[in-house]
Structure 1
Amino acid sequence: MRRARPGVASRGGLTSVAAGGTYEEPKDLPRLWHVTLSVSGAQVPLPDLRRALEQLAHDHPFLLTSRYATDHAEIRYWEEARDLHDAAAVALRLWGEHRQSAGLPPWEIVGLEVIDRETYHHRIAEGYGPPPATPVGVHPF
């Protein structure tokens, strides 16, 4: 159950502020984080890897794009989390937790980047960030 601050009434998704009061957004609301996870290991057949990454995309609906080769892959997606630590923790578990259900190879995580939405859009605007994930989906390098 949520508790409202004195002088603030909440009805569903709307918040009323008492006359003369100001509303401050709670600091612990989830934010969006752009995650790039890089994995690599022994070579596997491309059709098997593609099938596994497609299953991962089905299991993890926020998956934007995956790029892959026989011995490495890069997965990019948006994660909703309270802070960077939570987003990174989820990202570091992603490959291992879905390894059996998606049929992913026993590769290790070799890279992780987690940036907030504002930084992601700033990089794109400046022309030095990762290109927007188009086309969305699973594609070879």
Structure 2
Amino acid sequence: MRRVRPGGTTRGALTSVAAGDTYEEPRDLPRLWHVTLSVAGPGVPLTELRRSLEQLAHDHPFLLTSRYAGDHAEIRYWEEARDLHDAAAVALRLWGEHRLSAGLPPWEIVGLEVIDRETYHQRVAEGYGPPPAAPVGVHPF
């Protein structure tokens, strides 16, 4: 272990604080973000789409619910990320990165909403915004 001079210097993961200073939690710790991703495109058979969305749910463990019709779908899940930009970047890659492995149709992303946990719970408590994702799973619209 390295010795650190008094005066509050930082090296790597070790931090020294002068006597009497208080420790503050780093501000860039991951937070939970509620993501709603909407995709749409040419119609596909519902049984194939359902199987693909179920595979996506298996591949992406934080997936809460998917709703679908023959030409569009909505996916809702929680993402752990440092900030909104990181959560949105992951969400925008989700469909494309899992398209082949899950057999998803070649649809485009037509909507994205990313909100923090507090905003999500505030909206639900006030009676507007997305209702809690229940029942969890893959369901038709």
TM-score, reference length from structure 1: 0.88
* Secondary structure of 1:56's aligned partner: helix
Structure 2: gaps of 5 or more residues: 1-10
Structure 1: gaps of 5 or more residues: 8-17
Match in the other structure for 1:5: 15
Q: Is residue 2:56 matched to residue 1:56? A: yes
* CA distance in structure 2 between the aligned counterparts of 1:76 and 1:132, rounded to whole angstroms: 10
Amino acid at match of 2:41: G
* Secondary structure of 2:104's aligned partner: coil
Match in the other structure for 1:67: 67
**Residues 31-84 of structure 1 deviation map (CA, whole Å, 9 limit, x = unaligned):** 100000000000000000000000000000000000000000000000001110
* CA distance in structure 2 between the aligned counterparts of 1:65 and 1:46, rounded to whole angstroms: 16
* CA distance in structure 1 between the aligned counterparts of 2:14 and 2:128, rounded to whole angstroms: 43
CA, structure 1 residues 31+2, in 2 after alignment: closer, same or farther (shift >3 Å)? Answer: farther
Higher Rg: 2
Report how many aligned residue pairs link the two structures: 131
Q: 4+ residue runs of structure 1 moved beyond 4 angstroms?
A: none
**Residues 107-129 of structure 1 deviation map (CA, whole Å, 9 limit, x = unaligned):** 00000000011111111111111
Percent identity, aligned pairs only, is 85
TM-score, reference length from structure 2: 0.88
* Secondary structure of 1:27's aligned partner: coil
